[in-house]
Chain A
Amino acid sequence: MDTVAIIVLDGIGFASWLFLISAGITFVFGVLRILNVAHGSIFALGAYMGAWLAAWFLGGQYPAWLSFPILIVAAVLVAVTVGPFIERVFLKRIYQEEEVIPLLTTFALFLILEDVVRLVWGIEPLFVDKPFSIMGQVRLAGISYAGYPFLLTGIAVLCAILLWLVINRTYFGRQVTSVIGDREISSAMGINVPRIDTFAFILGSFLAALGGAFTAPMISVEPGMGIEVIVFAFAVVGIGGLGSVGGAAIGCLLVGIARAAAVHLYPELELFVIYALMVFVLILRPQGFFGGIEVRRI
């Protein structure tokens, strides 16, 4: 029983982290129809900004728990500076082009941002483990467990709820739903699609940066963080369906549990299961669980 409990807890923890890194990219795809490779770099920017601000903040005499809101602030800062810039200057010009172009553009931006991070913060790793350690330990099912992953789960659930509320209960959300359904008709109905695009991208960037900021206390923040994150996000999004946040949630849970099971039962397969799942789902149901995209399959 112990093993199952650990696997489930581990799985949920990893799934929560995965959700934070993938909700944004799938949401942006739903609205703009662009798969944003630079999502990984925005994640990294969030991590760096979060670590840097938190370290600076914690150096003062403020209570440690305030570092959490600081992380959120860091994510917001990244989202409102980098987000509009990328979307207006680059994405607006290429969103109509055939599929390769947006992918390559965001890849180019990814390369650029990777070096921007290096130039601004240097290549030495940043450590901010205070937020992690103050969450302490939790005893569950007879095992001593780190408290921080539970915070992540809480944040992931909070994000999911907030996202749902925004989409289904606000005017902005209804416009977004319309744009996701059909851009041209939305435009014809008077919706300012370019503005929705920008806001959606900022929201997606915020989610990425938030994921990064809250990842910072768990690991050492160093160059190249975004590289592995982006391919995990791709895997989850492929499983859950491009454009579907609900699908991403399911994908995260599947991948989380699968990976946790592998880690505890067959460690060599830890990474393998993630991509094997991706292949499995893409073959059986190419549009993922809830993807609404027409699959050109002959």
Chain B
Amino acid sequence: MMAGILLFITAPLLLSNWIIFVLAIALAKGIVVLGVVLLLRGGLISLGHGLYYAAGAYAVAFALNRWNIREALFLIPLSLLAGGGMAALTGLLLKRYRGIFFAMLSLAFSMILYTVLFKFYDVTGGTDGMRIPPVTILGIHPATENLRLFYYYLALILTIGVLYLGRRFTASPLGYLMQAVRYNEIRVEYMGTSVGRAIYFSYVFSGALGGLGGGLVAFNVGHVAPELAYWTASADFVFVAVLGGAGNVFAPFLGSIVFEFVKNYAFKFSPHTWQMTLGGILLLIIFFLPQGVWSLNEVIKRKVIQWQLSLKQ
């Protein structure tokens, strides 16, 4: 794992600026996908995570443009709060639903935000969106040529932090409780524990992650638009969650990196087949690798062990 971290820290020295840019976005989106995965572990599919993603992004946009707050150390917690706060509200209703109804209601909430962002031009800039000027860190303006690098390391640090928190969460009673909810709600209630509460807490955490990812992407891209709340954005997050697998906290980031690079290169290669490529990959995963790309890890390990055993004979 340390090797992995070192790799990411030194990546900018070896790779081009554009790759660092894509990587930063992949990590930021990976944070959102982790939020989706946490809910998947509870058997809940969020088709509307774009809501928290856009909430975080637009909160940052408002702070920068309306209130002239440039400080990253303020904007980052703000995006967390925006996402988490939104989830605290919608979670009150959503915690009572399961399955396809949960999915549809979460979709509906995100589309409501979309319509508001889209139509209220005077407040939100409508389809033009809002610009994100460069931020400061502890009051210092990073030099323009270092901005990319700065945003990359910001995403990396936050990713590491989120990975740590996520790891602790999934190993904790609450983390296991989410899985318990998925397998047997009756038993959970008969342990004297509230299923609704478990879902609610996880949901708020998941929404906060969505907001954080949204804020980070806003920094990187320099622009926010209503599309962040559209159903296709939410669908992308679910796609990546399935791509990486829901087994552990690293998988969403692996999935996100694969997704962003495939998307970008497939688009460059042929602008009219990149969606098809992604669709094809998704089908392959569904039919051949249902545990996601991360499980390739396990498959390879098993094959290696088998091969080693066969050598000994």
Instruction: Point out residues on A near B: beta carbons under 8 Å.
Output: 35, 90, 93-94, 99-101, 103-105, 107-112, 114-116, 118-119, 123, 227, 230-231, 234-235, 238, 242, 267-272, 274-276, 278-279, 282-283, 286-287, 293, 295-298
Contact = CB atoms under 8 A, between A and B. Distances in A.
Contact of A272 (B112, B232, B239, B273): B112
Most B-side CB within 10 Å, residue of A115, A230, A276: A115
Give the interface SS of chain B, mostly helix, strand, loop or mixed.
Answer: helix
Given A100-B40, A282-B101, A295-B97, 4 more contacts: A112-B275, A274-B111, A297-B97, A297-B101
Contacts of B274: 115
A119 B101 CA distance: 35
Given A115-B275, A296-B101, A272 B119 contact: yes
Given A99-B100, A103-B103, A296-B99, A275 B108 contact: yes
A100 B279 contact: no
B108 A279 contact: yes
B280 A108 contact: yes
B195 A231 contact: no
B98 interface: yes
Q: For the side of the interface on B, what is the size category?
A: 35 or more
B99 A99 contact: yes
Nearest to B93: A283
Shortest 9 CB-CB contacts between residues of A and residues of B = A111-B279, A115-B276, A296-B98, A112-B279, A108-B282, A271-B115, A272-B115, A118-B272, A275-B111
Contacts of A105: 282-283, 286
Give the interface SS of chain A, mostly helix, strand, loop or mixed.
Answer: helix
A108 B195 contact: no
Contact of A94 (B45, B96, B273, B286): B286
A279 to B, nearest CB: 5
Given A111-B276, A118-B272, A295-B101, A235 B108 contact: yes
Nearest to B111: A275
A3 B150 CA distance: 56
Given A119-B273, A268-B119, A298 B96 contact: yes
Interface string B118-152: 11100000000000000000000000000000000
A112 to B, nearest CB: 4
Most B-side CB within 10 Å, residue of A100, A270, A297: A100
A94 B290 CA distance: 12
A290 to B, nearest CB: 15
Contact of B116 (A35, A101, A272): A272
A35 B195 CA distance: 27
B174 interface: no
Contacts of A118: 272
Given A104-B242, A116-B276, A279 B45 contact: no
A227 to B, nearest CB: 6
B75 interface: no
Contacts of B101: 282, 286-287, 295-297
Contact of B283 (A90, A99, A267, A268): A90
